[in-house]
Structure formats: C-alpha cells, structure tokens
Amino acid sequence: MKKIKYILFGIMCFIALVIITTSVLANQSIKEIHINNVDLSKIEDGTYLGEYSNSPVKARVEVNVVNHKITEINLLEHVYALGEKGEVVLQEIIAKQTLEVDMKTGATVSSMTIVKAIENALEGEK
C-alpha cells in the first residue's frame, strides 16, 4: 500500500512540475508577442494564409477578405495546452474588423498566437 502512495505522489509531483513549467513558458511567451493592427483598406480581396508559433502554442490560419473586410477566418491548426477557449478571438476580429481585441483570460498565449497568425497572414509574413 505504501508503494502505491509513493507512486501516486511521484505522479502528482511530475504533473505539478509540468504545469508550473508550462505556466512559466507561457508568461515569457506573452512578452515576446507584439501585435500590430492591419490597415484593412490596403488589403485586397483574397485568401491569405498565415501562421505563428510561440512554443508551446502554434496557430495556422486562413483569412478571407472581401471589399476590405475580413469575412471569414479558418483556424487550420491550433496546438495548445489549455488554450482552446482563446479561439473566441476569431469571431471578435470578424465582428470588430480589427486585430485590437481583448485576449481571452486563461488562454492569453493562445489568443495572442492566433491574432499574430492572422496579422502575419494579412501582412504576408511568417
């Protein structure tokens, strides 16, 4: 019985270490992302692909623009730990027609990574 307790304790310590490490990396990652708003009046009609990777989070997007408006954003890939709720920024960007949207609390790194991928798509960068 004691052996099982030690094994469970070891597993719990390992999980705690992974969570703490991921949190520290995420906080460092936030400081590295600089998002610029894109002037949609200069973006021609078309479909734009963009991506951004900020370990451990990655996003790849397809952005459709018609009449200088973002009409659709498809999230082609989103690698995240706990950041799925950050995907809400997609609808906010379309509704507000700007990259200057609030990041989702609890999924800040994912939100910022997705927005940066959209910026890169519209500016033709990687």
Q: Does residue 29 have a pLDDT over 80?
A: no
pTM of the model: 0.73
* Tokens describing residue 107: 């999924």
* Tokens describing residue 8: 């469970």
- Radius of gyration in angstroms for the set of CA atoms belonging to the chain, rounded to a whole number: 18
Report the distance separating Cα 28 and Cα 21, nearest Å: 11
Query: Tell me, what's the pLDDT at 84?
Result: 80
Rounded mean pLDDT, 43-67: 93
**Which residues are CB-neighbours of 97 under 8 A, at least 6 positions away?**
40, 69, 70
Residues of the chain above pLDDT 70, percent: 87
Taking the alpha carbons at both ends of the chain, their separation in whole angstroms is 54
Q: What is the dihedral of CA 116, 90, 61, 70, to 10 degrees?
A: -100
Rounded mean pLDDT, 46-70: 93
pLDDT confidence bin for 48, thresholds 50/70/90: very high
56 in Cβ contact with 79 (< 8 Å): yes
Phi/psi-derived region of residue 124, left when phi > 0, alpha when psi is between -120 and 50, beta in every other case: left
